[in-house]
Structure 1
Amino acid sequence: MTYGHAAISNPPNIVKLDKSIAYRQAGHAVGICLGNRLKQLPPVYFQVTLTSREDAGQINNRYLPALSQYNASVEGGRLVQYLPSSFAEATRHLTWAQRHEYQCAFDADVANLLAGIMAEAYYFSQHEGVAFNANLVYQLAQSSDGGRANMDLINGYLKCWSPDQADRQKKLADLFLATYRFVNEPSNWQTITFLADYLWGRPTGVVPCEDIIALVDSFAGGFTKLCQSELPGFFMRRKCL
């Protein structure tokens, strides 16, 4: 018996999302909703959007030989929504407590972006049996549009942090190590894996932060509900339950 094309094709609007992309977005999202909470930072609105990729094709990279037919991205989620030209200038007239609060939010934004590209590399190292290291993280990040966009944002934060290259490298190294500890912690990695599997099997569309927080809380268990909170003036003024 033969089957027509419709009988063997995937259901309409079901995402053929590359698993590594799912891990990148899951790592970023878990960083936002769990990492920020562990640091006692205020909640911030974000969503994961899964879309069809119009320019599906090949890329010349030994790690990711072909683009997925679909893409995903985290939208929002940054506590510092608009980067100033200089961290020092932006905080010059703040009290010590205000400056500390701003720096915590600043660092968290970078750490959450790193959590995404690090989760992608961590998954790849396990799946392909290659060593996990900083070189793998950055090579994978540079191999895709989404990874490059995250790295561009990280570099923007670092340039804002200091005009001195050595200061920027130290800041990145410190945040890289802190993020690695977060991603490598077994319960956090299991949560990232759970969310990546969920995103991988989702249809195209938008997954709001309320759904992601509910998924993370239901899997990790025992977390208190996020309360409505209006963020300080530096941050995105959104409420997320």
Structure 2
Amino acid sequence: MKRTNHLLPNTPTCPKELLKHIVFHEAGHVVAIFLRNQQQNLPPVYFEIVINKEQQDHHSYFAQVLGGRLIDNLPVAEIENNQLGSEAEQQSLQKAYEADVINLLTGPLAEAKYVALRDGEIFNPHLVNIGALKNYGGHLDLEQAYRYLEYFIPDATERELKISELYNKAFHFINEPNNWKCIQSFAQYLLEHEQTTISCEQASDVLQPFLVH
């Protein structure tokens, strides 16, 4: 989950404003991993956040979340050999890869919502469709999302239907008021945090008040 440094038409030239884009993007990923996964009764996963606050030229990214994938915790050999035969196992696998795709999409969506609110513009899935996420640092996020779906859904038409379905779920998650409040809170934490690496435990401490017990 990377916020890439591709030069885009809406990339701000002001470093402080660019940093706001970055932290909202990463907050979208992190809050989905923490909050949405819990809402769906999915297991916790480990990750850390790395932010290139100086936007150094030798880095290919502005920020990234390392880890945080449910699929990484499943038996790779069983997935590759299609040995998850029972209905329960297949449902577990589907929930994992669908959640991972949604969590990939929430990053650029959170950045897009921040920009829309900042500019007093309407934020809806018709104006900000899945293709538009490339304009909000989502180039690699979209690539990874499609790779997941190509792996698990061979038919191209079914893949497009599935990614549209998952995009709508990601949009609904971002747009839910309490979830957005959580994203805003974590983005502010990232802005104020001086270190460039934030551990899973640090993120958990910040997000704990928003989690359902």
What TM-score comes out, normalization by structure 2 length? Answer: 0.80
2:133 to 130, 133, 141: 141
2:22 corresponding residue in structure 1:
21
Structure 2 counterpart of 1:48, one-letter code? I
C-alpha displacement of 1:90: 4.8
The match for 2:196 is 205
Partner of 1:76: 67
Within-5 A mapping of 1:170-185: 170-185=161-176
1:171-202 CA deviation, whole Å, 9 max, x = no partner? 11111111122111111110001001111222
Structure 1 residues without counterparts, runs of 5 or longer: 1-14, 57-69, 225-241
1:9 alignment partner in structure 2: none
Identity between Structure 1 and Structure 2 (%): 34
Q: Aligned letter for 1:195? A: F
Q: CA RMSD in A?
A: 2.8
CA contact (8 A) 2:130 2:167 kept: no
Residue number in structure 2 paired with 1:155: 146
1:43 is matched with 44
**Pairwise CA distance, 1:81:** 2.4
Which residue identity does 2:167 align to in structure 1?
F
Give, in angstroms, the shift of residue 89 of structure 1: 6.3
Alignment correspondent of 2:11: none
Instruction: Evaluate the alpha carbon distance shift between residue 89 and residue 73 of structure 1 in structure 2; reply closer, same or farther with a 3 A threshold.
Output: closer
Compared CA separation, residues 176 and 30, structure 1 to 2 (3 A): same
Larger Rg computed on CA atoms: 1
Deviation at 1:75, TM superposition (A): 1.0
Report the CA distance shift for 1:177/1:84 in structure 2 as closer, same or farther (over 3 A): farther
1:107 to 98, 105, 109: 98
> Deviations for 1:54-112, whole angstroms, at most 9, x for unmatched residues?
229xxxxxxxxxxxxx9321111001129999x99654542111111111111000011
CA deviation after TM superposition for structure 1 residue 141, in Å: 3.2
Q: Do 1:24 and 1:120's aligned partners in 2 also have CA atoms closer than 8 Å?
A: yes
Q: Shift in Å at residue 142 of structure 1?
A: 1.9
Gap change, CA 1:93 and 1:186, over 3 Å in 2: closer
Point out where structure 2 has 5 or more consecutive residues left out of the alignment.
Answer: 1-14
Separation in 2 of the partners of 1:126 and 1:91?
44
Partners of 1:84 and 1:90 within 8 A in 2:
no
Q: Which amino acid aligns with 1:159?
A: E
> Aligned in 2, Cα 1:136/1:84: closer, same or farther, shift over 3 Å?
farther
1:118 and 2:109 matched:
yes
Q: Is the 8 A contact 2:50 2:65 kept in 1?
A: yes
Distance 1:35 1:101, change over 3 A: same
Identify the residue that residue 55 of structure 2 maps to in structure 1: 53
Whether the 8 Å contact between 1:50 and 1:203 is mirrored in structure 2 is no
Distance 1:192 1:137 in 2: 20
Q: 1:93 to 1:198 in 2, by over 3 A?
A: closer
